[in-house]
Amino acid sequence: MGNGVFTQNVIAIIWDFDKTLTPAYMQAPLFRRFEVDEQTFWSESNKLNDFYHKRGVHNVSKDTLYLNHMLTYVREGIFKGLTNSLLFDLGSEIDFYRGLPNLFEELRHCVENNEDFARHGVTIEHYIVSTGLRRMIEGSRIAPYVDGIWACEFVEGTGKPHYLDPGQKELFDQSSPGYITDVAYVIDNTTKTRALFEINKGSNKHPEIMVNSTLTPENRRVPFQNMIYIADGPSDIPAFSIVNQYGGRTFAVYEPRDLNQFRQVNRLQQENRVQGIGEANYEGGSLTAFWITDAVDQIATKIVEGRQAALRQSVGRTPRHLVPQVGTTMGKLEITGSKKTSRGGAKPIADKDAK
């Protein structure tokens, strides 16, 4: 059915993390472990932009300033000995909103238990695209339900000059101080869109496909119309825009009973930046769970209808035996009831029963 490389029967649900899946920032367990005042850290981080501008720096990446500030805390001995392993362990202390991670599996079951969806191989994949820390997400309770994570990462130690020289193979390992020293990978609010295109084209599953490769729509693994993007606010507008533009679904959540957050996402909906909004409550029966479940059902139904139409077009109509009937034309012989006349110009043939 179709000439595409992929069957395009995957539904991708893409989640922001902080304040979307969690009521607090994921770094909260880190601050508790080292007895650091969370408000002080974030206040310092948020004011670094002005701090650097006053010192002659013209362009600052605001979304990743906190990563460098974390490294400053490590160097100053406040986050003494902070490692990727410890970040992973601290991930187990992250709290999630009600209904999680159960909803992730429930959505999969909704598809698996539908005979039509299952027959056409429709599946669900969950992805997290976050400006937070990958190692903490990997250590959290939600990680086993996730098919892929885009988030920031640190390295412990760097390659020293000449570390590639013959006889210096161990130099990189020996240079590791045993704690995080540099930023290895960054996701910010703009580059989240890159992750969307990686999912769209399939480069996350097939490394031989580059994200900048030119692929026609029918050759992309997950069409944008098969995507649902869920986040909590204005910082995700670039990602919302991409998904909306290409026919996907977008939904914004807000902290339950928080009027200011409600107004924030309500404004997004009024400006047509998202298609729906709801409380960050993912329990069965909640508006948010209903909206997401219904979006999955609609997308899956559309996938099935498309595949059935492609099947009909590919197979064509089944040939049938033709049965001659009085008054119809069959080949070159015209049946008129009392006489049989050849269209080739031969004389009429007498009918014995004709009177």
Q: Output the pTM of the full model.
A: 0.85
Question: Distance (Å, rounded) from C-alpha 101 to C-alpha 80?
Answer: 32
8-state DSSP, 199: H
| 3-state helix/strand/coil string of 133-169 | EHHHHHCCCCHHHCCEEEEEEEECCCCCCCCCCCCCC
Provide Rg for the chain, Cα atoms. Answer: 31
pLDDT at 9: 96
Question: Distance (Å, rounded) from C-alpha 209 to C-alpha 214?
Answer: 9
Any idea how long the chain is? 355
Question: Which tens digits make up the pLDDT trace of 180-237?
Answer: 999 999 999 899 999 999 999 999 988 888 887 888 888 899 999 999 999 998 889 9
pLDDT at 209: 86
Query: In 3-state terms, what secondary structure has residue 301?
Result: helix
On whether the CB atoms of residues 153 and 70 are closer than 8 A, the answer is: no
Q: Which two tokens stand for residue 92?
A: 């187990």
pLDDT at 353: 41
8-state DSSP, 309: H
pLDDT at 169: 60
Q: What share of the chain is helix, strand, coil (3-state, %, to 5)?
A: 40, 15, 45
On whether the CB atoms of residues 209 and 203 are closer than 8 A, the answer is: yes
How many C-beta neighbours within 10 Å does residue 139 have? 21
pLDDT at 343: 42
Q: Which of 269, 296, 291 is nearest to 280 (CA)?
A: 291
The domains found in the chain, sorted by start residue, are 10-315 (3.40.50.1000)
Which parts of the chain have pLDDT scores under 70? 1-3, 167-176, 316-355
